Structure 1
Amino acid sequence: MLIDEVRELDERGMAAWDQHKADDFADMFADEFTLSDVTLPEALHSTDQVRQYMETWFTAFPDMHVRSINRVVSEDAVAAEVEFTGTNTGPLVFGGMEMPATGKTVKGSGTYFVSVRDGKIISFSAHPDVAGMMMQLGVRPGT
């Protein structure tokens, strides 16, 4: 792929996140792919799982907005730093555990790495700053 095509794919993905369009995001994945996130107990491999993953974030933060802070794009990959804001008014699921809403607003950050083949995502690896987000939500380990 051309770098501009990979950049456009990434921009569509960011728009899907920001506009809470789980279907649009899930449709960007190849027939066979891996999505991993440090908040998940295991990797995802189906578009239904990707939709549920996104809906979990949108339930926890219904007013969530994301934006790219820094990005490196090649013919087959993207590495990006993102910032997100949102108010935790729904249950938050991490590592298979559900935590009740705190009502607090967070400004979080994270990185992701994407591999692309034939215009589709074949690998997506997300690394949100979970510790920073938990501190802003007032959640401490063991509580």
Structure 2
Amino acid sequence: MTEIGALLDALTDAINSQDEERVLRCFSTGAVFVTPAGVLEGHEQIGWYFRQLFTAFPDIHNELITRAVLDDTIITEWTFRATHTGVLLLPGGTEIMGTGRHVIFGAAGGYTIGEDGVFASARVYYDQLTFYRQTGCDLRLRRTA
């Protein structure tokens, strides 16, 4: 079985290099990737997600802060840094044109390795409100009845 810390490092390096092919090599073909924006299943959807991310933030850089391993799962915290220069596609299909704004926020996630030695599942967490505000999105909160 692949050493889980090395696999997380490989994924982080692939993301920082904006290399979709290398990102996908870190996940099984049927992997489930859960983000605040939605649930992605399999290489096609996970690849699409990262293509959108790399388009909106071509200088993306994730810096790992800490990690903890428990059996087949690694929990990690990192800082996301990037400049919003490309189109950002929001859930529901709304497109936000690049603003040139710098985005920096903390994130955390849990990744579970499968029998094939790559990630079978991942859950990523970050403050969406901070993320959208930093990109310049004009979000309006409203009360529901």
Q: Following the alignment from structure 2 to structure 1, what is the Cα–Cα distance between the partners of residues 125 and 102?
A: 20
RMSD of aligned residue pairs (Cα, Å): 1.7
Mapping for residues 33-52 of structure 1, pairs under 5 Å? 33-40=31-38, 43-52=39-48
The TM-score, its normalising length taken from structure 2, stands at 0.87
The TM-score, its normalising length taken from structure 1, stands at 0.88
Q: Following the alignment from structure 1 to structure 2, what is the Cα–Cα distance between the partners of residues 45 and 134?
A: 24
Q: Following the alignment from structure 2 to structure 1, what is the Cα–Cα distance between the partners of residues 97 and 29?
A: 34
What secondary structure, in the 3-state scheme, does the structure 2 residue paired with 1:12 have? Answer: helix
Residues 23-58 of structure 1: CA deviation (Å, up to 9, x unaligned): 111122223221111112xx2222121111111111
Contact 1:35 1:124 in 2 (8 A): yes
Residues 83-130 of structure 1: CA deviation (Å, up to 9, x unaligned): 111111111122133212111111122111111122111111111222
Contact 1:27 1:47 in 2 (8 A): no
1:99 matched to 2:99? The reply is: no
Q: Which residue of 1 aligns with 2:107?
A: 110
Q: Which residue of 2 aligns with 1:140?
A: 138
Percent identity over paired residues: 25
What's the CA shift for 1:63? 1.0
Unaligned 5+ segments in structure 1 are none
Pick the aligned partner of 1:73 from 64, 69, 74.
69
Contact 1:114 1:124 in 2 (8 A): yes
Q: Which residue of 2 aligns with 1:87?
A: 83
Pick the aligned partner of 1:27 from 25, 28, 31.
25
| Runs of 4+ residues deviating >6 angstroms | none
